[in-house]
Amino acid sequence: MPFPILILYSFSVLGSGIGFVSQSLIAGFWVTTYSNDVFYFSLSTAFYFLSLGVGSLLSNRWKKPTPSLLLWLTITLSLLAGYSIPVLKLCIQRLGNVFPLALFWVCLMGIVAGQLIPLTLRVGRNYPTLSLSKLFFCDYLAAIGFTLSFTLLLLIPNGYGLTSFYLGTFGVFACVVLAARGRLVSVHLLGVIAASYVLYLQIPKATLPLEGNAKILHEEQSHYQKIVLTEEAEGNYFFPGIRKHTLYLDGFVQFSSISEQNYHACLVNVPLAAAEFGGHPVRTVLILGGGDGLAARNLLAVPKIKRIVQVEIDPAMIRLAQGEAKVRMYNLDSLRSPKVEIKIEDAFTWVRTAKEKFDLLVVDFPAPKNLTLSRLFTAEFYSQLTRLVNPEGMISIQAGPSFSTEDSTLDTLSKVTTCIKRTLVSIGKAAEVYVNSRDNEAFVLVPMSAGFNSSAFFKKAGMYGGQKEVAHLCVHSPDWKEPSVRVNTLNTLTLSTYMLSWFQTVGGEFFKYRDGHAIFLPN
């Protein structure tokens, strides 16, 4: 009895769709974890297509292919898809950023998927209606269908882990249905599937716990980032015995309760003082980012400020800042104040259509560790920002790690900070770097008035002279050296390269993925 030709098509179509989507899933997971978008995606795609070719060549080793072989190859591919993210998470915990492991998994899937089309043609050579052109068309159509379903229905609401599980489960279920229709179901098939899912459920048990006495207070995977709030019994020498709370976004420290007041004093209070020094006290403020509400807290402490507009892309951050008791303890319920107007928008697009002008603009974005975040530090974006500031107003920008890791004397600014400063200078704006002396975080002050005397302000504020001369909270030195960097534009986006290079050199608490904690990995 002839084997149903529709089932032959189905195995190939199912395998092609699952294989193509899975390599995107793996690349996306690695990009979310370690950034460097173009590198990971391009290598993953290139190796996947190479392995498809290798799989096509290896298909010649099967002398007498059968429908059962197609079934087992498709089930293997489905199980590889289902296991992909859990296994890679486990590898990251044990070994760190070893991208060849991800490439190995992509290649494994490509080799399996690459065998399906040639084997389908050989199994169905006795069917006149089976043709290579129709098979390719169906496979490409499946790739589009799977990709749309993957993006719109699976990844966005479910994250990487559940998406891989659902993708693998769907593939296995479809194979069982096809096998039943073609009378290929066997006890061996059902046994392998059952054993696979038992093993799948054991993988999470192999995760590493947090070190020390850290306790997870909040864990959430939003559409934009992995949000984790921790509590530790130990503080540091500044605050002995005080519990430490740390907020991580995608594994990077967003704020630490030990040092956040220093950080926000530099980010917010320094430009407020500069505006007072220039004779134009701040009345209205625009905050871009700062979803934790800590920048707004410092601003609300100034009675003269009448209105604050906060633009934050992630509603999960606003919910955390308004609802989590420990965060509210630090932000003093700032985001519930009637003076604060919250806009859930992408700042990159919002600033292009905004019309209102403000006395102060505070830019408090996460570290520009990928191309998407790097857009928010470009010359084009900064040009849009300057439209929203009054002629005598100020812009304050969080500018990343201050000093170069290659200069132990702390005389040379990092490439990250220098790039941000040079980008502002490239659009014709005066930009002065100052540093939080406690944690060496850099900031850039941008006065809109060409007549503003930055040096006089820094001297008046007791910030002049740099790290070595004064013991002030925020310091500035005209003698800091600047390394050679390229301006960050939408065409170059060089800043993410400088940021990733710094993280790779320093590591430590700035990049928790290196510590092998699954809690910080994207869901």
Q: Say if strands 226-232 and 215-221 run parallel, antiparallel, or are unpaired.
A: antiparallel
Closest CA relative to residue 359, chosen from 270, 288, 282: 282
**How would you classify residue 513: left for phi > 0, otherwise alpha for psi between -120 and 50, otherwise beta?**
alpha
- The token duo for 180 is 């039943």
Neighbours of 273 (CB within 10 A): 18
What is the distance of C-alpha 448 from the center of its chain?
32
DSSP of 33-77: HH--HHHHHHHHHHHHHHHHHHHHHHGGG-SS--HHHHHHHHHHH
**Residue 378: strand, helix, or coil:** coil
Q: Active site residue: 250, 333, 364, 407, which one?
A: 364
Distances (CA, A) of 191 to 183, 185, 197, 198, 341: 17, 11, 10, 11, 58
At a CB cut-off of 8 Å and minimum separation 6, what does 433 contact?
A: 399, 402, 413, 417, 421, 442, 443, 444, 476, 480
Closest CA relative to residue 425, chosen from 379, 384, 385: 379
Please say if 364 is a catalytic residue. Answer: yes
Residue 147 half-sphere exposure toward CB, CA atoms < 13 A? 11
3 state SS for 149-194: HHHHHHHHHHHHHHHHHHHHHHHHHHHHHHHHHCCCCCHHHHHHHH
Residues facing 340 on adjacent strands: 308
Q: How many residues does the chain have?
A: 523
Residues facing 398 on adjacent strands: 443
Annotated catalytic sites, by residue? Answer: 364
